[in-house]
Amino acid sequence: MNGGSSLLVSCHLLRTATRTNRSLFLPGMISGNNSTSIAAARYSSHTITEELSHRRSKVTLNTIRTLHKKNIPITALTAHDFPSGIVADRAGIDLALVGDSLAMVELGYDNTNHVTMEEMLSHSRAVARGCKTPFLVADLPFGTYEISPEQALENSIRLVREGNVEGVKLEGGVEMADTIKKITTAGIPVLGHIGLTPQRSASLGGFKVQGRTFTGARKLLHSAQALQDAGCFAIVLEAIPAPVAKVVTQALTIPTIGIGAGNQCSGQVLVQLDMLGSFDKFTPKFVKKYTNAFETNTAAVAEYVREVRQGSFPAEEHTYSMRNEDDVKKLEELAEELDIATKAKSSGI
């Protein structure tokens, strides 16, 4: 079902969802605590990433499709560097995204539009070194795909070849369909992104919820179907009302990944530093903080400062000893000689 007919059906679904406002909960996946210490792996004969690669099967597009077919929610999370890539891998994430959100939460820019292609490539490579199991996607940064489909394909190839990712994400609706088709025809998987599109926030009047009117919702439906027809393997729905996200999800045959779009999507994505509480400037309404890493880390560093000032760190368990007592005695004798020589020099003898 494509084109106009599917849009009419989708609009009918939207009216129904708006009238009934019913919730349809998808079965969740709960993972237990993993107490295995990553630090311990540093003293193994294998690297951390080598050990992680054997923990579970590699997630592929077929894995994503199977999860979707079985109505198992897809887990997605951003990763911006090597450590966060390891976290996504170890925690069992299905899809890891090197998001251009790193511009704000990692590099300190005011918005996502400042991050460059070279920066995205560098961060993508770092994530790829630690994130071996999830399906790995990277954002095409602002200005690298809007000029022409050819420009978009060229930069997509760079992200795959130089950034070591498996797919790309780009923002936009119907107007990006030809560009997406160009990329997917070349064999590069594309993750679409509609609703609140941060790269276009200025034209949207800021970071505002999209699709709150029937006209806006219908536009999102049309865009989602156009992106599906262009070959997207999934679509991110950001900051749209839950009833709209539900209808869009029902209207498509590919997964939707929600962020601020309710629990009716095929999966969810969050910015890792947001959900860990590592970014203290602001927290979007749709973010749940699963811990408060910023406060924890700040307190830990303050404790380090205190212990260094007091001389209690490093303690004996953090230091190395010499191999035998004879060498210790020789070193003490040398220290005495040096002390005598230093005193003599300072006194002018």
Of the candidates 194, 197, 136, 201, the one whose C-alpha atom is nearest the C-alpha of residue 164 is 136
Contact status, residue 116 vs residue 159, Cβ threshold 8 Å: no
Strands 95-98 and 74-78: parallel
Considering the candidates 171, 238, 295, 316, report the single residue annotated as catalytic: 238
How far is residue 96's CA from residue 72's CA, in Å, rounded to a whole number? 17
238 is catalytic: yes
How open is the CA angle 187-68-137, to the nearest 5 degrees? 40
Q: Please provide the DSSP assignment of 131-198 as one string.
A: --SSEEEEEPPTTSSSS-HHHHHHHHHHHHHTT--SEEE--BSGGGHHHHHHHHHTT--EEEEEES-G
Q: How far apart are the first and last CA of the chain?
A: 99
SS3 content of the chain, % helix, strand, coil (to 5): 50, 10, 40
Residue type, 100: D
How far is residue 63's CA from residue 135's CA, in Å, rounded to a whole number? 9
What positions carry a catalytic annotation?
A: 238
